């Protein structure tokens, strides 16, 4: 495909997302199925442009002077991909497949006639206006910068599975991807974010991935799992296990001692957990499915550690799922808070005296984080908040209350919040 056709395709996909509120993954798939002539590089190019347009939707609209799919795509080429205006104009006017010649207003905007000086924080930070009060509570005067960091492209992070190998061997196996050690965790490896217009290689395709040497897992998620502390020999319940990423991280930390139970209220989310556990060499895992009657009844009051990766809005993962920030609503946020209160209460019933709960969200919103912990402690005075980490490398990310807060701007990870709650002996 020529650049003009790619441009038109990106505008078409973005229009489909905005008018029909389709998830970006489905909209890109629908375009790809219809555009059989598009090669792998064309699909990567269109996908990268659409995702960057979703990441920077508000700031680009401000600079372009209009909020349309066409303005977003053209603006990203100029302000994010750094294309010269002349190159953009040539591609747009490329008949018959380009989206059409630039207008005088577009020429002016793309040359930088409007900058972000004086723009509201929500515009500079590329997040919805209705979330500004929440961002202000957490980040204060830095909220625009924090939002902008959540609008960057994310790297691919890997967790080395110490049940199968060590970081040095894993690094060698990944050499073709030019991996780096991101710091903060000795078992983390990072593959830097690729050029948005390029097709990136799949780390899952190398043989060592199939052998269970490593798992794809954001560094923030890895650090959240370490908040469980020393879990060797313990009885551990992962109450919202989902696909099993943190379950496997906990299992590796346990070194196949003790017992880890994985549960999720949605049985479909557990389908890969057993297979992933077998590949990772985990031998102390029990998967408890909600399809069985009272699947966790025998665990009441017995768990040393209850790990709660709570259902949340996912605001901390906007770098990877930029379309979700524009679909989020106040009603959805309110529903998630009710879910979080319920899962915390459930977790308390499984925690033994002297045991602990680890409450985790991939959200940066205080309504899902500090507020939920405060409400839980009011309902359960037998629990006490404890520092979420004793690791010297992580102490700088602790809140005044002792909870762990990670963000792309401060820790170069996805956004995560972790609170550790200990039950009285």
Q: What is the pLDDT of residues 41-91, one digit of tens each?
A: 899 999 999 999 999 999 999 999 999 999 999 999 999 999 999 999 999
24-34 and 3-20 helices, crossing angle to 10°: 130
Write phi, then psi, for 369 (nearest 5 degrees).
-110, -95
Enumerate the β-bridge partners of residue 190.
Answer: 157, 180
Between CA 241 and CA 272 the distance in angstroms is 11
What's the DSSP call for residue 422?
Answer: E
Flag whether 264 is marked binding.
Answer: yes
- Tell me what pLDDT residue 378 has: 98
Q: With CA atoms as reference, report the closest residue to 280 among 304, 307, 256, 311.
A: 256
Q: Is a pLDDT exceeding 80 seen at residue 162?
A: yes
Between CA 343 and CA 93 the distance in angstroms is 55
- Over the stretch 282-296, which tens digit does the pLDDT of each residue have? 999 999 999 999 999
Between CA 42 and CA 48 the distance in angstroms is 10
Query: Domain residue spans in the chain?
Result: 3-119, 122-149, 219-423
What's the DSSP call for residue 180?
Answer: B
312 is catalytic: no
Of these residues, 362, 373, 404, 418, which one is catalytic? 362
Q: Is a pLDDT exceeding 90 seen at residue 407?
A: yes
Between CA 117 and CA 132 the distance in angstroms is 18
Q: Is a pLDDT exceeding 70 seen at residue 281?
A: yes
- Over the stretch 120-134, which tens digit does the pLDDT of each residue have? 999 999 999 999 999
- Over the stretch 366-405, which tens digit does the pLDDT of each residue have? 999 999 999 999 999 999 999 999 999 999 999 999 999 9
Model's pTM, two decimal places? 0.95
Q: With CA atoms as reference, report the closest residue to 207 among 245, 251, 174.
A: 174
- Tell me what pLDDT residue 220 has: 97
Task: Share the mean pLDDT of the chain.
Answer: 95
Q: Is a pLDDT exceeding 90 seen at residue 14?
A: yes
What's the whole-number mean pLDDT along residues 191-213?
A: 85
Say whether domain 219-423 belongs to CATH 3.40.50.410.
no
């Amino acid at each position: 495909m020529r650049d003009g056709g790619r441009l038109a395709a990106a505008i078409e996909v973005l229009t489909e997302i905005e008018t029909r509120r389709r998830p970006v993954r489905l909209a890109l798939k629908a375009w790809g199925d219809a555009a059989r002539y598009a090669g792998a590089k064309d699909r990567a190019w269109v996908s990268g442009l659409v995702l960057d347009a979703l990441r920077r939707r508000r700031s680009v609209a401000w600079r372009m002077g209009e909020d349309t799919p066409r303005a977003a795509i053209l603006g990203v080429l100029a302000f994010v991909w750094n294309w010269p205006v002349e190159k953009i104009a040539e591609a747009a006017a490329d008949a018959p497949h380009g989206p059409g010649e630039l207008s005088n207003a577009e020429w002016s905007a793309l040359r930088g006639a409007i900058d972000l000086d004086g723009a509201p924080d929500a515009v500079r930070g590329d997040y919805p206006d209705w979330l500004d009060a929440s961002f202000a509570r957490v980040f204060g005067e830095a909220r625009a910068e924090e939002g902008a960091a959540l609008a960057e492209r994310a790297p691919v992070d890997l967790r080395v599975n110490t049940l199968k190998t060590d970081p040095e061997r894993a690094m060698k196996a990944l050499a073709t991807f030019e991996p780096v050690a991101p710091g903060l965790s000795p078992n983390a490896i990072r593959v830097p974010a690729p050029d948005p217009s390029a097709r990136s290689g799949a780390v899952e395709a190398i043989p060592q991935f199939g052998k269970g040497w490593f798992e794809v897992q954001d560094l923030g998620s890895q650090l959240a799992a370490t908040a469980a502390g020393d879990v060797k020999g313990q009885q551990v319940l992962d109450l919202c296990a989902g696909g099993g990423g943190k379950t496997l991280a906990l299992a590796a930390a346990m070194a196949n001692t003790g017992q880890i139970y994985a549960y999720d209220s949605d049985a479909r989310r557990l389908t890969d957990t057993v297979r992933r556990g077998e590949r990772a060499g985990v031998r102390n895992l029990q998967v408890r499915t909600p399809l069985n009657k009272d699947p966790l009844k025998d665990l009441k009051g017995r768990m040393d550690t209850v790990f709660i990766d709570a259902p949340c809005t996912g605001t901390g993962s906007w770098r990877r799922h930029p379309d979700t920030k524009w679909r989020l609503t106040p009603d959805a946020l309110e529903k998630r808070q009710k879910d979080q209160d319920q899962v915390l209460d459930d977790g308390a019933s499984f925690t033994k005296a002297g045991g602990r709960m680890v409450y985790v969200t991939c959200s940066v919103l205080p309504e899902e984080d500090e507020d939920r912990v405060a409400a839980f402690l009011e309902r359960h005075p037998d629990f006490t908040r404890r520092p979420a980490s004793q690791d010297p490398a992580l102490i700088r990310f602790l809140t005044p209350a002792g909870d762990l807060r990670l963000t792309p701007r401060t820790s170069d990870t996805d956004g995560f919040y972790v609170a550790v709650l200990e039950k009285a002996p």
